[in-house]
Amino acid sequence: MYFILKYENYYYMIVKMREIRRDKMRHLMSPLDFSVEELDKLLDLANDIEKHPDKYAHACDGKKLATCFYEPSTRTRLSFEAAMLNLGGSVLGFASADSSSAAKGESISDTIRVISCYADICAMRHPKEGAALVASQKSRIPVINAGDGGHQHPTQTLTDMLTIRSLKGRLGNMTIGLCGDLKFGRTVHSLINALIRYPNVEFVLISPKELRVPEYIREDVLVANNIPFTEVERLEDAIPDLDILYMTRVQKERFFNEEDYIRMKDFYILDKEKMALAKDDMLVLHPLPRVNEISVEVDDDPRAVYFKQVQYGVYVRMALILTLLGIEVQ
């Protein structure tokens, strides 16, 4: 009887500790989940990781990252895995819905409850908007939204912000051109939401009419916050005034009609001729993968930083993992 009481008390203590931990636990669903001050601190940490990688090589010894990817990914999934391995942790997970119990009909809520028993933190990508949020509401571990449909991609935004700040020295006082698929481009939506909080940022939205930025971004984010922006169709008309050109691909997987995709996919192609119109210090970013929208002849231009951007993505995901796990390295 005494043993049972002690066991029950111990179990009660564990449950209460988990409840306390859950109250303090943080997830990342959107860049807006962090304040500007918290974002600056995160980016500072990422820069320190870049300069002193050995200092962080064992920060996550014994910790496990679960990568739950319900749709294909190269950079995001491998970047998360590299980040955790660089920190001394380990990785488990799946790379497609077909290789998980989702193929048998298991819900997101049940999956994350199971994953919470195996791992310390989870990165989730899903084709449905809001899937990661649903998971976070049932999870006992921090959940990172690694992309949910055409909605948000916050860790790509952190990557973009680190790239811009590291190479430009600032996140405010600039004109940013967003070019391509602005309707379904979750990286674009996340980046706009994050950068409107910095001073004197102006956006130039470059897209065909069919792929214009969604109304909720235009009205509820840009207009509602008095953020200056213009919408144009011709890249040549916009590029001379830009400090940052953020290219995106037209996403075949977001189209229901293949004819529409074929008609749109080569609408914009950045080449040497267009780059000649740009400022000498303009930077070209791209979340990748690239299809045809940036000619390979641009790759050797020093203003093309999309492969550097990939490396910054590892540093910022390392910083994010440490932050969400509450690990501080002295």
Strands 229-232 and 201-206: parallel
- Residue 39, pLDDT above cutoff 90: yes
- Residue 99, pLDDT above cutoff 60: no
Domains present along the chain, CATH in parentheses: 2-153+313-325 (3.40.50.1370), 155-310 (3.40.50.1370)
User: How high is the pLDDT of residue 264?
Assistant: 60
- Choice among 27, 64, 151, 153 that is catalytic: 153
Each residue's pLDDT tens digit, 40-71: 999 999 999 999 999 999 999 999 999 999 88
75 is catalytic: yes
Q: Which residues pair with 204 in a beta bridge?
A: 177, 230
- Choice among 27, 64, 77, 125 that is catalytic: 125
- Residue 21, pLDDT above cutoff 60: no
Cα–Cα distance, 243 to 256 (Å, whole number): 34
Strands 121-126 and 64-69: parallel
Question: Which stretches of the chain are DSSP H helices?
Answer: 2-24, 36-51, 75-86, 108-115, 131-138, 154-168, 186-195, 215, 235-238, 258-264, 272-275, 306-325
- Residue 7, pLDDT above cutoff 50: no
Q: In whole numbers, what is the pLDDT of the chain averaged over residues?
A: 87
Q: Are 263 and 225 in contact (CB under 8 A)?
A: no
Cα–Cα distance, 218 to 216 (Å, whole number): 6
Q: Are 85 and 91 in contact (CB under 8 A)?
A: yes
104 is catalytic: yes
Q: Are 247 and 285 in contact (CB under 8 A)?
A: yes
Work out the pLDDT band at 103, boundaries 50, 70, 90: low
Q: How many CB atoms lie within 10 A of CB 123?
A: 32
- Residue 135, pLDDT above cutoff 60: yes
User: How high is the pLDDT of residue 298?
Assistant: 98
Each residue's pLDDT tens digit, 109-120: 999 999 999 999
pTM of the full structure: 0.86
Q: How many CB atoms lie within 10 A of CB 25?
A: 18
- Choice among 75, 138, 212, 218 that is catalytic: 75
